[in-house]
Amino acid sequence: MNPEFWQNKNVLITGHTGFKGSWLSLWLQNLGANVSGYALPAPTQPSLFEVANVAEGMHSVEGDVRDLDGLKKMLKSCRPEIIIHMAAQALVRSSYDNPVETYATNVMGTVNLLEAVRHSDGVRVVLNITSDKCYDNQEWVWAYRENEPMGGHDPYSSSKGCAELVTKAYRESYFSDGEQNCALASARAGNVIGGGDWATDRLIPDIIRAFTQSSTVVIRSPNAIRPWQHVLEPLNGYLTLVENLCEQGSEYAGGWNFGPAEQGAMPVEWIVAKMIEAWGEGASYELDPGTQVHEANYLKLDSSKARGLLGWAPKLDLSQALEWLTEWYKICRQGEDMHAYTLSQIHTYQNMGVR
């Protein structure tokens, strides 16, 4: 990505109070963009949004993506050139308990945002953040390419597949014939990890919670292979893609995978063992004997398109990513300035070359 591109750009992030939204907001603030955010309050306590004082450097508005009028007002008041849509009910397990809320937020929330964009002027780029789980997972060994069918077994995954279909329909119906000069794309990344995630039922926050309470980590699905990557990797991809969408226009509109390197796909049990090694202090784990809800076993992304057309590639290997995040939580526990520490990780990352 090109840091100069972002100076004084008006950027709206939905879901800026969440884990990825907070990292992205801090990064964009630091690049000199005028950042606005529209979201419900931070979904966890504690949260990166509060711990790193993210609101300080941006125009933060509490709002619901299920509220079309609220979104229209937001666009009118902050007049963004670029929108990165991250607001979502982002947890697979919650989606089993709350399917209506999940679809309302993830599908109708996307419809509402695109509808608000359709009735506004000046938006040049919309990037919709969906998920690797949007694909119809055949549980095979091959990686998924952008042109493969959408699907999703559980409500969360299926809602992300639906959000992709909505994005495509809006692009083809309203944003492709020059009627509106706005490039519309979507981005699919794997399970992201990094400091500041305190979500329930996500592996890394569950491990960190156990570490900090000096209790044994309980893991489900030890052999499940997930495409792990540090949160800064897909964010770097999103920023690079947006620059290209602004400069090359609709040529870059469409779906994009930003997956981890092949070695980034490792079993849950391997991750836990690595983190125990990095944390020390007598940390340990055991397997959860309970019955588990269905979770897809194997899902690999093919990121050749992003590598070839954007020059995007991961910078951190999985061991480094785990070290960075474990260090982040250790520093946080010491009561350090997490705004400054998070920015220091962003700086280090930004100045690294690709592997």
Ligand X SMILES: NC(=O)c1ccc[n+]([C@@H]2O[C@H](COP(=O)([O-])OP(=O)(O)OC[C@H]3O[C@@H](n4cnc5c(N)ncnc54)[C@H](O)[C@@H]3O)[C@@H](O)[C@H]2O)c1
Residue 88 contacts ligand X per CB under 6 A: yes
- The CA distances from residue 287 to 55, 86, 180, 198, 223, in Å, are 39, 32, 53, 21, 11
Nearest residue to the partner ligand X, using Cβ: 18
Q: Tell me, by CB under 6 A, how many residues bind ligand X.
A: 25
Rounded to 10°, the helix 232-248/338-351 angle is 60
Q: Which two tokens stand for residue 267?
A: 């079993």
| Distance between CA atoms of residues 179 and 166, nearest Å | 18
The piece of 10-18, 114-122, 270-278, 320-328 that touches ligand X (CB under 6 A) is 10-18
Cβ 179 to ligand X shortest distance, Å:
27
Residue 161 contacts ligand X per CB under 6 A: no
Residue 264 contacts ligand X per CB under 6 A: no
Cβ 323 to ligand X shortest distance, Å:
19
Residue 198 contacts ligand X per CB under 6 A: no
Binding residue for ligand X, selected from 25, 95, 112, 131, defined by CB under 6 A:
131
Beta-carbon neighbour count of residue 211 at 10 Å? 22
* Range 323-342, binding ligand X (CB under 6 A): none
Binding residue for ligand X, selected from 1, 6, 17, 171, defined by CB under 6 A:
17
Q: Residue 298 forms beta bridges with which residues?
A: 225
Residue 72 contacts ligand X per CB under 6 A: no
Q: What is the DSSP string of 173-187?
A: HHSSSSSS--EEEEE
Q: Is 290 exposed, middle or buried (0-12, 13-18, 19+ CB in 10 A)?
A: exposed
Q: Which is nearer to ligand X, 29 or 282 (CB)?
A: 29
Select from 151, 129, 125 the least CA-distant residue to 138: 151
Draw the binding track, 30-49, toward ligand X (x: CB under 6 A; -: no contact). Answer: ---------xx--x------
Chain contacts with ligand X (rule: CB under 6 A) = 15, 17-21, 39-40, 43, 64-66, 86-90, 105, 109, 129, 131, 189, 191-192, 199
